[in-house]
């Protein structure tokens, strides 16, 4: 089985993540009417999925370390499908909220397990591109959700918008039935023969398998001699945890998901009055997101993670300042153009840096013994910050205005730039075992 095909199937977890992240922005225009939602309840409908994602991420890492990456990915796919169908058939607000919560649990698990799975099956020279392929699938999921929203906006068919999310969930579940467990997890649980067979299925040549198994055995022997390293609080895991959790929080508090969730409403505020026009403009932002993520995949194993991260954060800061200035000074058609340009530039800079690089780095930087738990903690922080941002955005707009909110996100982007400059190492071209030794 070719490695690329395996990666494409596994990355459907990112597609689930992206589709649900984007579809709620279009559906919310109709849900607020169908269920008579206040601004607060719009935030709750959006954010309850994030609460579910935090829950899913909190247990997925522990379960993946114990039972394997593959079976837990299968479970998360099933949960997502169930949540999408419950949401689509909701007849009242509690049923809608229950479906959204289930969807969140599914995407919370998939959001951390997919990059973990991809990192552990990929050769070092291709790991950046293959793990970042998950981010490309995520952005494609967002774009597809925008296009679905645009097509269905005229009829107000929000049930179809939410229900179609079950399709990639079903495909992911079926695909994972055919994929192998990761060699690293198998070797870590004493199943060396199964790990060798998995490497064969992943397309490794005979000259590659023996060195890779030897590196895994050496790493496992080192861990056996240093039992404290099996804990996240140990010195070798402490700095990776700070980096992972810090980037997780900065990825959200710099405002990306306010654009994803509320872009149609932002465009309506800038002068696009109809729902269809606002969703179509948002789809344009989705195209930028996909295109720049493709550029990031091409560059990440060439120029490195750190360079893309710093460049992207610098561009995000400038773009957010443009958005803040546009809402402070713009009027009418000019505000619409400034908003579109600022949002496109902001999303493009995020897509080339903090978007894919965060998920790639947290799949690389943790020691093997705590990789699942470390990624789980970073993902919990990511979804927790996402929840706070989604809950507060509309209320902050009412208090500070859009200009003030985007200026605040610009300031937080500067803080993220300083954090990355001081603490984030370059991991390009290093094996996971070599990266582990960096923290020693």
Residue 165: pLDDT over 60: yes
CB 97 within 8 A of CB 44: yes
CA separation for the pair 60, 63 (Å, rounded)? 5
Quote the crossing angle between the two packed helices 12-34 and 3-10, to the nearest 10°. 20
Using DSSP's 3-state secondary structure scheme, residue 424 falls into coil
Average pLDDT value for residue range 300-325? 91
Q: CB neighbours of 341 closer than 8 A, spacing ≥ 6? A: 322
Cβ atoms < 10 Å from Cβ of 314: 15
Residue 375: pLDDT over 90: no
Average pLDDT value for residue range 373-381? 84
Q: Nearest 5°: phi and psi at 271?
A: 125, -10
Q: Is residue 379 part of a domain?
A: yes
306: domain CATH number is 1.20.1250.20
3-state helix, strand, coil in the chain (%, to 5): 85, 0, 15
Residue 26: pLDDT over 80: no
Query: pLDDT tens-digit profile of 185-194?
Result: 888 888 888 8
Buried/exposed code over 267-276 (b: 16+ C-beta within 10 A; e: otherwise): bbbbbbeebb
Q: How confident is the model at residue 265 (pLDDT cuts 50, 70, 90)?
A: low
Q: Which of 347, 378, 342, 382 is nearest to 363 (CA)?
A: 378
Both structure tokens of 394: 């509309």
Both structure tokens of 259: 């654009």
Of 169 and 4, the one with more pLDDT: 169
N- to C-terminal Cα separation, the chain: 36
Q: Is residue 204 part of a domain?
A: no
Point out the least confidently predicted range of 92-106, 297-311, 372-386. 372-386
In the DSSP assignment, the letter for residue 370 is: G
Query: pLDDT tens-digit profile of 316-355?
Result: 999 999 888 877 876 666 666 777 788 889 999 999 999 8
Identify the pLDDT of residue 18.
Answer: 81
CA separation for the pair 379, 366 (Å, rounded)? 13
Cβ atoms < 10 Å from Cβ of 242: 12
CA separation for the pair 163, 161 (Å, rounded)? 6
Dump strand ranges (E) for 142-240.
none
Q: Is residue 214 part of a domain?
A: no
Residue 226: pLDDT over 60: no
CA separation for the pair 257, 22 (Å, rounded)? 9
How wide is the angle at C-alpha 415 spanned by C-alphas 375 and 326, nearest 5°? 115
Q: Label residue 426 exposed, middle or buried (CB < 10 Å: 0-12, 13-18, 19+).
A: middle
Q: CB neighbours of 81 closer than 8 A, spacing ≥ 6? A: 106, 166, 169, 170, 173
Identify the pLDDT of residue 314.
Answer: 96
Q: Is residue 414 part of a domain?
A: yes
Average pLDDT value for residue range 51-60? 85
Q: Is residue 213 part of a domain?
A: no
The range of the structural domain enclosing residue 293 comes to 3-179+226-438
CA separation for the pair 345, 355 (Å, rounded)? 14
Of 229 and 100, the one with more pLDDT: 100
Q: What is the residue-wise DSSP string for 257-280? A: HHHHHHHHHHHHHTT--SHHHHHH
In the chain, the number of structural domains is: 1
CB 165 within 8 A of CB 27: no
Q: What is the residue-wise DSSP string for 169-183? A: HHHHHHHHTTSPPPH
CA separation for the pair 21, 260 (Å, rounded)? 7
Identify the pLDDT of residue 12.
Answer: 79
- Give the up-direction half-sphere exposure of residue 356: CA atoms within 13 A in the CB hemisphere: 39
């Amino acid at each position: 089985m070719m490695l690329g095909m395996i990666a494409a199937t596994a990355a459907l977890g990112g597609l689930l993540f992206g589709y649900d992240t984007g579809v709620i922005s279009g559906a919310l225009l109709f849900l607020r009417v169908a269920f008579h939602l206040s601004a607060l309840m719009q935030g709750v409908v959006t954010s309850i999925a994030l609460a579910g994602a935090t829950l899913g991420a909190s247990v997925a890492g522990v379960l993946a370390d114990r039972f394997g990456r593959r079976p837990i990915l299968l479970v998360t796919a099933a949960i997502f499908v169930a949540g999408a169908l419950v949401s689509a058939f909701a007849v009242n607000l509690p049923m809608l909220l229950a479906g959204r919560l289930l969807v969140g649990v599914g995407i919370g698990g998939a959001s951390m397990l997919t990059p973990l799975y991809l990192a552990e099956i990929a050769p070092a020279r291709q790991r950046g591109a293959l793990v970042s392929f998950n981010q490309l699938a995520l952005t494609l999921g967002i774009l597809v959700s925008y296009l679905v929203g645009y097509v269905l906006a005229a009829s107000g068919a929000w049930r179809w918008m939410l229900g179609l999310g079950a399709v990639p969930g079903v495909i992911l579940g079926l695909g994972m039935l055919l994929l192998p467990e990761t060699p690293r997890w198998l070797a870590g649980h004493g199943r060396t023969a199964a790990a060798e067979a998995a490497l064969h299925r992943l397309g490794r040549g005979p000259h590659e398998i023996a060195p890779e198994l030897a590196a895994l055995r050496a790493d496992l022997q080192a861990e056996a001699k240093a039992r404290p390293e099996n804990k996240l609080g140990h010195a070798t895991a402490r700095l990776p945890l700070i980096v992972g959790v810090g980037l997780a929080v900065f990825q959200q508090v710099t405002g990306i998901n306010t654009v994803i969730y509320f872009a149609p409403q932002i465009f309506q505020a800038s002068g696009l009055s109809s729902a269809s026009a606002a969703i179509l403009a948002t789809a344009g932002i989705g195209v930028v997101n996909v295109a720049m993520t493709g550029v990031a995949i091409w560059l990440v194993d060439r120029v490195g993670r750190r360079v893309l991260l710093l460049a992207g954060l610098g561009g995000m800061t400038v773009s957010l300042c443009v958005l803040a200035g546009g809402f402070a000074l713009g009027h009418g058609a000019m505000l619409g153009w400034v908003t579109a340009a600022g949002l496109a530039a902001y999303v493009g800079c995020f897509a080339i840096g903090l978007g894919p690089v965060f998920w790639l780095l947290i799949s690389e930087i943790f020691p093997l013994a705590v990789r699942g738990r470390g990624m789980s903690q970073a993902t919990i922080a990511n979804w927790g910050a996402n929840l706070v941002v989604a809950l507060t955005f509309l209320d902050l707009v009412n208090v500070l205005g859009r200009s003030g909110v985007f200026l605040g996100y610009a300031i937080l982007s500067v803080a993220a730039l300083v954090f990355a400059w001081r603490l984030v190492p370059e991991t390009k071209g290093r094996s996971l075992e070599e990266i582990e030794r960096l923290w020693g």
